[in-house]
């Protein structure tokens, strides 16, 4: 049985499973509100571990590490969806854990995730679960062309491949070594968007403004949040759907729900992330309550207030590629990374740089993000395009 829950006030210790950049930003938010923090992550140089009061260097399923985290913390959260759900269940025997193992377990399995969307009455792309040769043979032809995704351990475009017909589908499933997969019908997309909701143990729920997202090679590249970034009717539908999904999970914590906006105006849900999300990073500089403060509030049982966005905002994701030239090598074959032109970027009005404290830049690795805010949408877009040009990023 889960531990009983009381409001946890500043001065207590909040723990996080996972030591990446999301954990780091959660730790900073908790510390700014007066909490002590603890991180469990096996990496000695993990971004969150390096800034936390306690860093427990252990595997996520290590019984001693979990016992140590439980002993030092008053409540525990997670910063990425692939933290083993059994570890969260073990921690919940003695401490409040949010989100709980059941919700995280559903988010870790695309087949369960799709079934949850159906139960909630939220439209998703037509799909089929492929877990046997018989299931493969029974795939309806109308699902092709489609995208085959492994049911587990897929993120940022990994574990998925486009398939045009039955032959390429069979080859792709063999490439994935016949693990359980989900085949989704490819749909004509007009845009991608997401909604971040925060739900407390008392059922109270608030949300950030819907975010319009641009992905490149399966990784979020740009998020735009301002009045008119998406059609009003679809924005309202996305918020309603996101809240329904959270409610159906009896979710506690911060949840990101990603959507596809189709060319015919329809909205379908893509996937959920049981944690703060890249697309919500703009809230750190454009809202009076960030997604990470919401994570602290939901974990500690503090009152939830609706975030107010005070500035139009654009977020640029900063990958390790920026430290390399176009051919994927360090410029001039130097031994140390070459930093992007931060001084020139920060000379632009309304730019806010957030680097994650990672010790080595690698292509595709998330190294930080740049938020741009301003008085008008036109001003923010112009500055964001200038920053993109300075950084060598494609225009949008």
Q: Which fold has domain 189-391?
A: D-amino Acid Aminotransferase; Chain A, domain 1 (3.30.470)
186 is in an annotated binding site: yes
- Give burial (CB, 10 Å; 0-12/13-18/19+) of 315: buried
* CATH number of this structure's domain 13-97: 3.40.50.20
Q: Tens of pLDDT along 340-391?
A: 999 999 999 999 999 999 999 998 999 999 999 999 999 999 999 999 999 9
Retrieve residue 84's tokens: 């083993």
227 is in an annotated binding site: no
Strands 75-78 and 13-17: parallel
156 is in an annotated binding site: yes
160 is in an annotated binding site: yes
Instruction: From 291, 290, 193, select the one nearest 236 (Cα to Cα).
Output: 193
CATH architecture of the domain 126-185 equals 2-Layer Sandwich (3.30)
Please give the DSSP secondary-structure letter assigned to residue 52.
S
Q: Give the pLDDT of residue 5.
A: 58
DSSP 332-379: GG-SS-----HHHHHTSTTEEEEE---SS--TT-EEEEEEEE-SSHHH
149 is in an annotated binding site: yes
Backbone phi, psi, residue 299, to 5°: -70, -40
282 is in an annotated binding site: no
- Report the predicted TM-score, pTM, of the whole model to 2 decimal places: 0.93
Contact (Cβ atoms closer than 8 angstroms) between residue 197 and residue 255 = yes
366 is in an annotated binding site: no
Q: Give the pLDDT of residue 290.
A: 98
pLDDT over 90 for what percent of the chain?
A: 91
How many C-beta neighbours within 10 Å does residue 331 have? 12
Instruction: From 52, 251, 271, select the one nearest 147 (Cα to Cα).
Output: 271
Looking at the chain, the number of H-run helices and the number of E-run strands are 12, 17
185 is in an annotated binding site: yes
184 is in an annotated binding site: yes
Place 2 in a pLDDT band, splitting at 50, 70 and 90: very low
110 is in an annotated binding site: yes
In the chain, CATH 3.30.1490.20 sits at 126-185
Place 68 in a pLDDT band, splitting at 50, 70 and 90: very high
Q: How far is C-alpha 158 from the geometric centre of its chain's CA atoms? A: 14
159 is in an annotated binding site: yes
In the chain, CATH 3.40.50.20 sits at 13-97
Number of residues that make up the chain: 396
357 is in an annotated binding site: no
Place 82 in a pLDDT band, splitting at 50, 70 and 90: confident
Q: Tens of pLDDT along 130-179?
A: 999 999 999 999 999 999 999 987 666 678 899 999 999 999 999 999 99
Retrieve residue 156's tokens: 């940022």
Please give the DSSP secondary-structure letter assigned to residue 340.
-
């Amino acid at each position: 049985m889960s531990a009983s829950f009381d409001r946890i006030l500043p001065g207590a210790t909040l723990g996080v499973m996972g030591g990446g950049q999301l954990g780091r930003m959660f730790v900073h938010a908790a510390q700014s509100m007066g909490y002590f923090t603890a991180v469990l992550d096996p990496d000695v140089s993990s971004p969150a571990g390096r800034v936390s009061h306690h860093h427990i260097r252990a595997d996520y399923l290590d019984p001693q590490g979990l016992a140590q985290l439980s002993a030092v913390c008053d409540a525990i959260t997670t910063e990425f969806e692939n933290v083993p759900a059994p570890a969260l269940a073990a921690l919940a025997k003695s401490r409040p854990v949010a989100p709980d193992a059941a919700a995280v377990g559903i988010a870790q399995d695309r087949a369960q995730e799709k079934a949850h969307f159906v139960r909630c009455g939220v439209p998703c792309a037509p799909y089929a679960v492929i877990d046997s040769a018989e299931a493969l043979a029974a795939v309806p032809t109308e699902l092709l062309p489609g995208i085959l995704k492994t049911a587990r351990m897929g993120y940022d475009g990994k574990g998925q491949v486009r398939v045009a017909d039955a032959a390429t589908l069979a080859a792709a499933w063999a490439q994935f070594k016949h693990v359980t997969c989900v085949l989704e019908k490819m749909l004509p997309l007009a845009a991608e968007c997401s909604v971040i909701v925060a739900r407390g143990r008392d059922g109270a729920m608030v949300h950030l403004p819907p975010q319009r997202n641009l992905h490149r090679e399966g990784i979020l590249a740009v998020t735009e949040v301002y009045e008119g970034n998406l059609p009003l009717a679809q924005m309202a539908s996305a918020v309603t759907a996101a809240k329904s999904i959270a409610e159906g999970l009896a979710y506690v914590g911060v949840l990101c729900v990603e959507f596809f906006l189709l060319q015919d105006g329809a909205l379908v849900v893509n996937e959920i992330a049981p944690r703060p999300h890249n697309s919500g990073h703009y809230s750190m500089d454009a809202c009076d309550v960030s997604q990470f403060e919401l994570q602290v509030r939901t974990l500690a049982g503090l009152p939830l207030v609706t975030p107010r966005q005070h500035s139009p905002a654009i977020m640029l994701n900063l990958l390790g590629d920026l430290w390399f030239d176009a051919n994927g090598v360090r410029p001039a074959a130097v031994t140390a990374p070459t930093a992007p032109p931060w001084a020139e970027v920060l000379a632009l009005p309304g730019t806010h740089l957030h680097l994650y404290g990672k010790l080595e830049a690698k292509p595709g690795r998330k190294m930080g993000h740049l938020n741009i805010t301003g008085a008008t949408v036109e001003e923010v877009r112009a500055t964001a395009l200038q920053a993109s040009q300075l950084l060598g990023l494609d225009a949008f």
